[in-house]
Amino acid sequence: MAQKWAVLALLLFLPINLVEALDRLSVEVGHEAVLSCSNISKVSFLMVTWKRSCCSCCLLSYRGDQNKTSSQNCSERSMWEYSPGIYPALRIYPVKLEDEGNYTCETVNSEGTFYFFSSLTVIVPPMVTLTHDKSRVAVCQASAGKPPADISWIPASNHSSEEEFHHPNGTVTRVSYFGWTNSSFPSVTCLVTHPAMNQTLVMDLRYTSHSLLYILIGAAAGVSAVTGVTLCLIFRCRACWLCKWTRQSTTIKTYEFPLSRVRREAVQAPLFPEKIYENYSPRSVYVCL
């Protein structure tokens, strides 16, 4: 108990040194963020505290006299990078949008109290798509990016326009439109630039015309109809030929014989089995068991 009061008394009478160092860190969502808290002296820490500048936010603390760490309102994603008595850095992994903000590291040793400030910015790469609508307008969209992505076209056009949609989580969707109604370009390229990625999408304008699409669909339908009629005629002719051939092959031919000849052959027909059964006797049958 006396040792505890001694530590508290030492903390009250220590000088306060405000370090005007601000560490700015930008991290992509899902990656790792490490916020540093440098020790400007060689004296060991008596206390280290990490806190975020908001109510009911994460608070990590370390006491050197007890070699004990504690946390309040912290998720399992927020932890010490290494041993806080040696290198009191804060590690956040994986980073989420909700982790963005300002953080303060407070260190106490025998030389005084020091504060280090860090600003964490979370970057979200957008989802990029390139489509076209019925009025021959190419649509390049970078969805839910933070910060907003930059969109440009090749070739450049004065007919392009752009709009933005802001989402509650801080991300922004940017959409750019490129019309090629009166142009003869074979293709158009959309360039999307963002701190987390750069992406290029190309659209071939020769196959995006709806009139050409309708012509191709009509031609395909016509070819299918002709092919169907031809196959039906072939199968029908073949079925008729098979039917006629079957009738001819199943016709029974009859011959007329004189009645006297038929009676004579009937009388002369054998009345007993064939000769191979003449010597047959059931006793001659042996069964091998």
Q: Which CATH class is domain 2-123?
A: mainly beta
Distance of alpha carbon 92 from alpha carbon 96, whole angstroms: 9
In the prediction, which pLDDT does 38 show? Answer: 73
Sheet with 68-72: strands ordered across: 16-28, 112-123, 101-109, 47-52, 59-63, 68-72
CATH topology of domain 127-206: Immunoglobulin-like (2.60.40)
Provide the residue ranges of all domains of the chain, joining segments of one domain with +.
2-123, 127-206, 209-247
In the prediction, which pLDDT does 269 show? Answer: 44
In the prediction, which pLDDT does 280 show? Answer: 46
**Residue with structure tokens 């969805």?**
143
161-176 burial: b if 16+ Cβ within 10 Å, else e = eeeeeeeeeebbbbbb
In the prediction, which pLDDT does 231 show? Answer: 64
Cβ neighbour number for residue 225 with a 10 Å cutoff: 10
Question: pLDDT in tens for each of the 289 residues of the chain?
Answer: 444 444 444 444 445 555 545 789 999 999 999 999 876 667 788 999 999 988 788 999 999 989 999 999 999 999 999 888 888 999 999 999 999 999 999 999 888 899 999 999 999 999 999 998 888 899 999 999 999 999 999 988 777 899 999 999 999 999 999 987 766 778 899 999 999 999 999 998 876 654 444 444 555 555 565 566 566 566 665 666 556 655 655 544 444 445 444 444 444 444 444 444 455 454 444 444 4
CA distances, 58 to each of 46, 153, 255, 262, 277 (Å): 21, 44, 112, 118, 109
Residue type, 138: A
In the prediction, which pLDDT does 243 show? Answer: 61
2-123 and 127-206: same fold? Answer: yes
Distance of alpha carbon 58 from alpha carbon 96, whole angstroms: 14
Structure pTM?
0.64
Q: pLDDT tens digit string along 84-120?
A: 888 899 999 999 999 999 999 999 988 889 999 999 9
